[in-house]
Amino acid sequence: MTSDFDDVFGFIDEMEASAKEVELATQIPSDLFEEDKSYLPSIDTYPVKTQQEALRRLKVIQFTEKRLKGGWTEKNLVPILNQAEQELGLSPPSWRVLAGWKKMYFESGRSVLSLIPKHAQKGNRTVHTDSQSLIDEAIEKKYLTKERLSVAETYRYYKSRVIKANQEIVEGKIKRISQRAFYDRVNSLPPYDVAVERYGKRHADREFRSVGQQIEATKPMEYVEIDHTPVPVILIDDELDIPLGRPYLTMLYDRFSKCIVGFSVNFREPSFDSVRKALLSTLLDKSWIKDKFPSITNDWPCHGKIDYLVVDNGAEFWSDSLEDSLRPLVSDIQYSQAAKPWRKTGIEKLFDQLNKGLVNALPGKTFANPTQLKDYDPKKESAVRVSVFMELIHKWVIDRYHMDSDSRERNVPYHKWHESKWLPNFYQGQAAAELRIELGLLRHRTIGIAGIRLHNLRYQSDELIEYRKYNSVNSQGKLFVRTKTDPSDISAIYVFLESEKKYIKVPAVDNSGYTNGLSLFEHERIQRVRRLNTRSLVNEESLADTYLYMEALIEGEAERMRSSKNKKLTQPKTGNTSKIAKYRDVGTEGPGSIVRKNGSSNSALNVVSTQLSLDDDDLEDIEGY
């Protein structure tokens, strides 16, 4: 009765219901309500760029994990990220971002899906598929291009595509998203990918780079940076008082002490010679400074062997001559990568300090932007002579820059140099003399009977002749040697004798004194002028007429032989006719034929048939080829 009553009015016995639920629960499969992981998205369901970003993050994490000793802290991660940038060729994240990636990756059980950028999961999940495809099309075709159309232009294209598509749809027309929503879609794109498509990879890498840390020096001359810059001032010739233009400055900067350890100034564009002069200034003792410039009160103690020379990618730093010269003088040459200026920042800041501290106050200063000149003419205003500028720049370096503290008042360069217990090795005496030779222009040449031909000159000496006599040649019968030329004086070269392991000085064969004190640069210009003068003397039209006349004459002779009525089927041997031509002295001073013109009726072929008796020994000294 009670059961019927409960069924009619819907009353339930709670205790009985609970027991039934437990019984039913045992009959239901336990995995019925579990999430079917086979339907979870895999990485290949994401866009290609999203996949690449996730894999890039995974690669950085794995690279770091293999090399990490200790916790994921800034101190431990920064050096590894710098290493990853060089070895993997990737733009690494900051250490904080990397630590965040690692946390998500480890907490997910090392699932690569945890590294999917969050922007890939953004947006309205209910957006119509057709509308989304048109959004993607508009962004791909209009926004992510080198033409860099605005978002407004991109949205206008998207709106037009939706209108056009709806013209062909009767029901279920595509719903257009608002301009604000479209802007949000564009702004949700990965900034790096957008920069790559709109501005190029190089710009994107520079914009989103991880700024590395410069290697800290522990002693003087351990890391020395070198670079060039045009000095923005027009200088005056000492004798003629005419403007010479802007000079170039090549300067070397010690990273430890922040001292300027050497420099050179000249009016030639950066080259091996300007690097050579600056290096000589750096490596050798500078005690001569006060004798040349008495106004200087302090000494310039900076000189000695360089451990690591930090250079950029200028052509003058990639020359064989520089590599060969610096091999015994520098432990290593480090080339700064493009778009990574933090690896060579000291020298760049130094140029700015020089301009602000000295050059900007000089009459004849030039401006980078011509619009800044107004009525100012640097050529007319220039007044500083070359010799005065040389004294000014030495004075500024030694008495001003070296003796002043840096902007944060941490160190004074001169005193920082002397604080170190470890000073570089110095070049003195014979070592200093050999240094000038080592820093010469490298060329490989053969020693011939006339000596060595180099720079369109000939170099010869008795010692070189003796060396050629008693040293073996290669398989081609040539004896190669290594030569060094001082670009400032080509009156002699230095030849390295391999068997004796030494250089010898070989003078130029020059009776006129042309090469005395002549630089290679001057010599090359003189040679160029000579070639131009020679070309001006050549009459090209006359040469062309002569060439065509000779060609016509040769062709006429060939045609005469082909059409000769009296030509025999068998021609006489060339060797015999050649001997007769030699005997008759056919040529410029003699006759034009081997036939005598003394009334004899014999033809050339008859003469040949008589077979003049000429011994080969009589003509053996004449070569027929």
Q: Please give the full DSSP string across 151-199, using - where no structure is assigned.
A: HHHHHHHHHHHHHHHHTT-SSSPPPPPPHHHHHHHHHTS-HHHHHHHHH
Q: Which residue has the higher pLDDT, 97 or 44?
A: 97
Q: What is the pLDDT of residue 130?
A: 57
Does residue 614 register a pLDDT over 90? Answer: no
Q: What is the pLDDT of residue 35?
A: 44
Does residue 554 register a pLDDT over 50? Answer: yes
Six token digits for residue 503: 């250089």
Q: What is the pLDDT of residue 49?
A: 79
Least confident of 84-93, 247-256, 295-304, 582-591: 582-591
Task: Report the pLDDT averaged over residues 59-73.
Answer: 86
Q: Please list, in sequence order, all residues whose beta carbon lies within 8 angstroms of the beta carbon of residue 300, skipping any fewer than 6 positions away.
A: 286, 289, 397, 398, 402
DSSP state of 235: E
Q: What is the pLDDT of residue 407?
A: 73
Residue 439 backbone dihedrals phi, psi, to 5 degrees: -85, 25
pLDDT in tens, 255-307: 999 999 999 998 888 888 888 899 999 999 999 999 999 999 999 999 998 98
Does residue 566 register a pLDDT over 60? Answer: no
Quickly state the pLDDT bin for 56 (edges 50, 70, 90).
Answer: confident
Six token digits for residue 508: 């130029």
Does residue 42 register a pLDDT over 80? Answer: no
Quickly state the pLDDT bin for 428 (edges 50, 70, 90).
Answer: confident
Least confident of 75-79, 253-257, 488-492, 600-604: 600-604
Quickly state the pLDDT bin for 476 (edges 50, 70, 90).
Answer: confident
Quickly state the pLDDT bin for 70 (edges 50, 70, 90).
Answer: confident
Does residue 137 register a pLDDT over 50? Answer: yes
Q: What is the pLDDT of residue 367?
A: 81
Task: Report the pLDDT averaged over residues 212-220.
Answer: 76
User: C-alpha distances in angstroms, 578 versus 562, 594, 614?
Assistant: 20, 9, 11
Q: What is the pLDDT of residue 105?
A: 86
Q: Please list, in sequence order, all residues whose beta carbon lies within 8 angstroms of the beta carbon of residue 591, skipping any fewer than 6 positions away.
A: 584, 585, 597
Quickly state the pLDDT bin for 528 (edges 50, 70, 90).
Answer: confident
Is there a contact between 358 and 392 (Cβ–Cβ < 8 Å)? yes
- Give the C-alpha separation, 471 to 467, whole Å: 6
Least confident of 326-330, 370-374, 504-508, 597-601: 597-601
Six token digits for residue 555: 């062709």
pLDDT, the chain, mean? 78
- Give the C-alpha separation, 377 to 15, whole Å: 105
Quickly state the pLDDT bin for 14 (edges 50, 70, 90).
Answer: very low
Does residue 402 register a pLDDT over 90? Answer: yes
- Give the C-alpha separation, 11 to 282, whole Å: 103
Q: What is the pLDDT of residue 15?
A: 47
> For 251, what's the count of Cα atoms within 13 Å in the CB-facing half-sphere?
25
Instruction: Of 35-49, 273-287, 358-372, 470-484, give the range with the top mean pLDDT.
Output: 273-287
Task: Report the pLDDT averaged over residues 580-585.
Answer: 58
Does residue 235 register a pLDDT over 50? Answer: yes
DSSP state of 570: S
Does residue 36 register a pLDDT over 50? Answer: no
Q: Please list, in sequence order, all residues whose beta carbon lies within 8 angstroms of the beta carbon of residue 594, skipping any fewer than 6 positions away.
A: 577, 580, 581, 584, 586, 604, 607, 608
What is the bridge-based pairing of β-strands 330-335 and 441-446?
unpaired
Place of tokens 């700064």: 336
Does residue 556 register a pLDDT over 80? Answer: yes
pLDDT in tens, 150-181: 999 999 999 999 988 888 887 778 888 999 99
Q: Report the amino acid identity of residue 134.
A: L
